[in-house]
Each structure stands twice: as structure tokens, then as C-alpha cells.
Structure 1
Amino acid sequence: MSQTAPRAASPAAPAETLLASFAQAGYAKAEPAILQPAEPFLDLSGEDIRKSLYLTTDAGGEELCLRPDLTIPVARDYLASPIAGKPAGFCYLGPVFRYRGQRPNEFLQAGVESFGRTDRAAADAEMLALGLEALAAFGVSEIDVRTGDVALFAALIDALALAPSWKRRLVKDFNRKTSLAQDLERLTLSTDTARKDYEGVLAALAGSDRKAAHALVTDLMSIAGATQVGGRSVAEIADRFLEQSTLTSGTLPKDIRVLIERFLTITGEPDEALAELRTLAADAKLDLNAAIDQFESRIGFMAARGIELSRTRFATSFGRGVDYYTGFEFELHRRGNGVEPLVAGGRYDNLMSRLGASTPIPAVGFSIWMEALTRFAAAPAGSPR
């Protein structure tokens, strides 16, 4: 089913030492099953992961997959445990499986996940600090720290006078820059200049009862014999089709598009970005205080953790392409290493509810890409190479 990632001896000792340091910081070792239900990954992860899954079906017809990532498996085990809902932290080291073309499709991933902490800004800063400490443990220096916060974009969109369907679409497409740009373009075009062959059908659905329209679309797809397309069920596809029907009507005033584009150009050191965000909110007369205050609080905790803010880059447009992120996001790169991060993570407060939790549970974490890290690492002093 897959190629096997190299299991070189050189990173083993440093990786185990890394896990020991996470344990000392209060993170218990997690070892979730390799075979996982496919539905959470198909429903909650980004397109890149969906397209790279190794899928199978058990005797009962349930679709399963080799875990492509460890965040969702660790979260599922936590929710099934007696401590679900209580503050808890976990670390891990193990193989994950994704189709990656000519590269090994089985490779090691390490990381940390923190659940249930309500001091969100402090927990965010701790994740970033632990990620930086992980690179230091492997002797990696000259690091680019790239950060963003999807909660700021969500707060901006929520404050604007837009149809609910457009708000959902823009926030969902935040991590897909091409889709977001297309959304903004389509919003500012009249329906006469963007007409499709089936737009009349969409317009008719837009004015009908949503429950009845959903049943009609679902029945039509079932009659056509469709069960799943691209990992999505008939019901999910019907939902997206009906959402599309509402997106064909209405246009976006030019001043709102200019405001969104101005927001997405804010970048620089965190303190500089903070000042620009407050200026934008004041100029636009928008109440973004809660999201901006959370950003400012995180900056303070980052500084308290010894993170050099002058070497940290923040961009309002930064996103990681993972659908379940809801707030702080970050990547740590070896300087000059292009787009491939060594460490990456962020906040995903809505994931637990979508995995079945009866009440919201805050969550934040990061993954360490051992394959990339060991290419650049200098083994810590005293460790075998």
C-alpha cells in the first residue's frame, strides 16, 4: 500500500530525547491506532490530505484509512477517555501515511496537542515556544517564524454586512488563497457577467424552502447513482450545491472588497501588525476588539516566553490549508528552505465538537516533520549520529 519512510538510526535518540522533554513539560505520550475511521479526515481536513489518503473498507462497510496525521487520532482518543473535557496534554512520535508521489509515503511525525485550556493566548505561546525548543534540540538555527490568525479574518467577515452563506464561504476559503481571490472577484461581479448554464436552476433553488430543496437535490443525485464524490457524501454535496445557489445572488460593494484586501495586506512584526489592525478597525468603524485583544495578549505571552518578536513575522493572510483551524497558526522554517516547514501547528477550538464532544473544548497543538527536520539537523551534543 505504501512505500516505507527511512527509519535511520540517527534521529532516533534525539527524537526520544525530545519526547522526554515534552513529558517533563507535562505532556503524556499518546499512541493512537494506525488504522482510523476515514470520515473525520474526509470531513475535517484540507484538500491536500483528502487527496492523499490510503483508504480501505472493513467487513461492515465502514470506510477506514491509514492515519495521514496524528492530531485527529490523538483528539479522538482523548474524547474517548475518562478525562475528556478536562485540561490535558499529549505528545507523540510515530508513522503517518500519505500519497506523496515520488517521496516516501510513510514517514515519521512528532508533535504536541493541548486540550481543555481556557487560557488560550498563553497556550498558543507555549506551543510556539515548544516548537522552537524542538528545533533547538536538533541543533537547527536560523529559523523563520511565520504566524497568522484566522480568527482575525473571521472577526472581520462577521462584522461586515454580508449574506450568511458568503460569510461561511469566505472564512472556509481563507486557507485556499486562489479560492478566496475568486470569491472576492465573483462577489464584485454582477450576475449578468458571471452567468452559468445552470444559474437559473440555482436562482430557483435560492428562493425555495431549504429543507425541500435539499431533499430534491439529494434525491436527484441518488437517482443518478451517486454515493460519494471526492470523499464527500450525497448530503454534503447537496449542501454545497444549495450554498452555491445563494452565492449567485447579490454583489459585494467595492469599498468592502477594498477593506478585505487592505486587511489581507497587513504583515510584519507582531507589534507592527497589531497597530495596523487597530487602525483598520477604527477607520472602518468595526468592532474587532475581542479578536485583536486576544492577538495582543498572545504577543505578550510570546515575549514572556523569550520568543524574539523582532524575528517573528505575522501576516493576516497566512493560513495552513487545514479546514479545522480557528485561530492562531504558525510554521517554523529553516531559513532559505522554501515552503516546507519543519514544525507547523495552530488552534482548532471547533474540532472537538465536530468529533462528537457535547460541549466546546479549546485545543491547540503542532506537528514536527521529522523527515524534513533530520535533513537539516545537527545532532545535539553527546547524541549518536
Structure 2
Amino acid sequence: MNVTAPPSAAWADTLLQSFAQAGYVHAEPDILQPADPFLDLSGEDIRKSLYLTTDATGEELCLRPDLTIPVARDYLASARAGQPAGFSYLGPVFRYRSGRKSEFLQAGIESFGRQDRPAADAEMLALALQAAGAFGIADVEIRTGDVALFNALIDALDLYPVWRRRLIKDFNRKISLTDDIEQLTLKTAPGRNEYEGVLAALAGSDRKAALALVTDLMSIAGTTNVGGRTVAEIADRFLEQATLKAGALPRDAIGTIKRFLSIAGEPEGAVAQLRALAADAKLDITAAIDQFEARVGFMAARGIGIKKTRFSTSFGRGLDYYTGFEFELHHKGNGSEPLVAGGRYDGLMTQLGSREPIPAVGFSIWVDALVKAGKSGGAR
């Protein structure tokens, strides 16, 4: 395993001092962490990137692959859980990365419990820009998006749940959702089966009535559960297959989604385009747009150059747990690799065991990328 060089005292002190002055307490989570939270949230695919071990009780442990989850776990275990609290961090993380060091430094901020979401989002972006400045990088590209807008759009379209899940999953796992949305989301397995006629009959029916019919038929047949699934769960899955077999989303829904995904540019212009889309399509996504517009206002109040900020409705960071604002800071000309990246992840705390939802937003700093950018003449 590679040995991470200690951070330069100058920029490390400047960075941590700036975080402390902003009210963020320095956190130092344990390097050895339970593996389950990382596997549960990121899926088994992350296993090949983790450095795993097992303790005497058989619990699977890992060297922390990032610091967001460890900081969140420590917060939930503290007396401040549920209350507004902010933390900063700087330390090594361990993750296999082909061709690159497996041990590397990560810095960042996590903010928990703040109900003033637009203001908290804007503060994260402002602090991220300040962090880039600590490395001598004054000129960066600001790329932003908001998955809450996409989720609100899909909810307002009132699609079958299978389409909602599939569209949101595809959106979350791609940096940019392509325009050929029919091909991306509507492919079904080839071939026919003996239930093809039943599936076709159910495809266009009222969902509640169809679900009740399938549930009743399975109950009459004496089915209680199969493979751990209840009758209702099996019936819902059967109905999903019927919907997929129908072969297409409604054309008006496809047109609306494509128009939504084409919105990009300065945030203020995007707000106007979103309101026009909502009015034309008669969709109630006002609350999500209002939150977006409020965030833009707080960004401007913090001196962030709105005209230089790029917003895109199709922007996503490729991770399932983001629930709202997302952003990346790029060194101009460095391609797709971000220097700083983060966003809102309000669902994380309940996934980690909190009984009540707790708002959360933060960002991570890729220290090696920032150091490299600073050395190559980041300040312009």
C-alpha cells in the first residue's frame, strides 16, 4: 500500500483554519470502519475497491474509502444527533484505483440538520470555492445541477412506478442523460412467454384495479409468498412487467422530459425556462423550482459569480444518494476530473439508522488534484 505524504503545513493550516472560522468543527473518524454501510449504500460493486478485514466476532471491517459516511456515523452516535452541526475533515482514505495511489488525502465539510436548505447549499459552494483558493486556484469552472428538479418532474408526470424508478436510476447513474430517452429507458428482454396476452391486457389498465386483480388471483391460488416476497410485492412486480411490455412511455411525457433535459446555461435563465415548461405542460413542480431559485439568490448574496456558473438539468454526479443540489469545481482545461465535488443527500441519515430524516449537505476535496492544479499554475 502506498504511503500518503503528510499535507503541506501551509495550505493544510489555511484550509482547516478557514473551515473552523466558518463554524465547522474538525472531525477525526476512525480509519477502521464497519464495511456494511459502504456496501449497503454503494452496492456490492464497491467491494472490489475496498480494503477489507474481519474482526474476532466475524464483523466485516474496512479501511475507510471516504470520510462522509464515517463523519455521519459519528454525528449520529453523538448527543448532537438531529441538531444542526457542521464538521470539517482532512485525512487519508483508502480505495483501490487502477493506476493511481490507493491511499490518498481527502478533505471536506459535512453539514447536518440545517432546515434552511437553499442557504446551506449556497454556503457549501462558497466554502468549496474558498478551499480551491487555499491551493492558489482562483479561476475554476462551476458546474451545477439539481436532482430534486428531475424527481419533481417525474412525480408530476404521474408515471407508473416502474418508469419512475427506471428513469431516476438512469439519471442518477449518468453525468448527462442522453436525448434518446426511449432507447435508454424502454429496452425490454426479447422473447415471448405464456403470459404475454395477460401482460398486454394489463398494460393499459388502471394501475390500482390491475394490482387488485393480480393480488386477488394469487390469493385465490393459495400463494402466500415466493422467495421471501409477499403476494402484493409479486403482484406489483408482475404489473411492472406488463407496463414494460407495453413498450413505450406516453409520447407527451417523452417530449416533456426531453425539453426538461435540454435546459442549461446560467441559473437565472434556467429558472425562467423551467417555469415556462411547467406552465406549458401543466405540471406542478413549483416547490422544486422555488427552492432552486432561492439557492441562486443565496449564491449571489455570497458573491458567487452567477453569470459564470453553469447549470444543467441533466447534470448528475453518478451517485444514487444525492437528493437535490449537486456541484463540481473544475480547473479549466482539466477535462472531466473534478477538484471539489458535493451536494445534498437528505436520505443518508435514515439509511444509516436515524429514526427521523435529517437534512445533510457537504463536499469532498480531491487534495491530490488540487495540489497538481495549483502547481501547474492554477492562479490566473
Q: Is the 8 A contact 2:24 2:87 kept in 1?
A: yes
Residues 1-385 of structure 1 aligned to structure 2 (within 5 Å): 3-7=1-5, 11-45=8-42, 49=46, 51-177=48-174, 184-185=182-183, 194-196=189-191, 207=214, 215-218=225-228, 245=241, 248-250=244-246, 251-377=248-374
CA distance in structure 1 between the partners assigned to 2:310 and 2:224 by the alignment: 44
Note if contact 1:113-1:364 (Cα within 8 Å) is conserved in structure 2: yes
Tell me the TM-score normalized by structure 2: 0.84
The offset of 1:57, in angstroms, is: 2.6
Deviation string 1:115-136 (CA, Å, 9 cap, x unpaired) is: 0000000000000000000111
Q: Deviations over 1:185-226 (max 9, x none)?
A: 26557x6xx53478959969x94589998952359xxxxxxx
Whether contact under 8 Å (1:98, 1:105) holds in the other structure is yes
Q: Structure 1 stretch 158-167 or stretch 170-179: which is displaced more?
A: 170-179
SS where residue 299 of structure 2 aligns?
Answer: helix
Q: Percent of aligned positions with the same letter in both sequences?
A: 64
Give the unaligned 5+ runs of structure 1.
220-237, 381-385
Give the number of equivalent residue pairs.
355
Task: State the 1:349 CA deviation.
Answer: 0.6
**Distance 1:183-1:218 versus aligned 2 partners, 3 A rule:** farther
Gaps of 5+ in 2: 203-210
Question: Deviation of residue 61 (structure 1)?
Answer: 2.6
Which letter maps to 1:74?
V
Tell me if the contact between 2:35 and 2:61 (Cα under 8 Å) persists in the aligned partners: yes
Query: Do the aligned partners of residues 213 and 42 (structure 1) sit closer, same or farther apart at CA in structure 2, a change above 3 Å counting?
Result: farther
Give the drift of 1:173. 2.4
Which residue identity does 1:36 align to in structure 2? Q
Structure 1 residues 196, 64: closer, same or farther in 2, change over 3 A?
A: farther
| Cα deviation 1:55-75 (Å, max 9, x = unaligned) | 333332322222111111100
Which stretch of the first structure deviates more once superposed, 11-20 or 360-369? 11-20
AA aligned to 2:110 is E
Larger radius of gyration: 2
Are residues 320 and 105 of structure 1, via their aligned partners in 2, closer, same or farther at CA, if it must alter by over 3 Å?
A: same
Tell me how large the CA RMSD over aligned residues is.
3.2
How far 1:48 moved relative to its partner? Answer: 7.1
Letter of the aligned partner of 1:195 in structure 2?
A: P
- Residue 7 of structure 1: SS of its match in structure 2? coil
Q: CA deviation at 1:334?
A: 0.4
Describe the SS at the equivalent of 2:365: strand
CA contact (8 A) 1:268 1:313 kept: yes
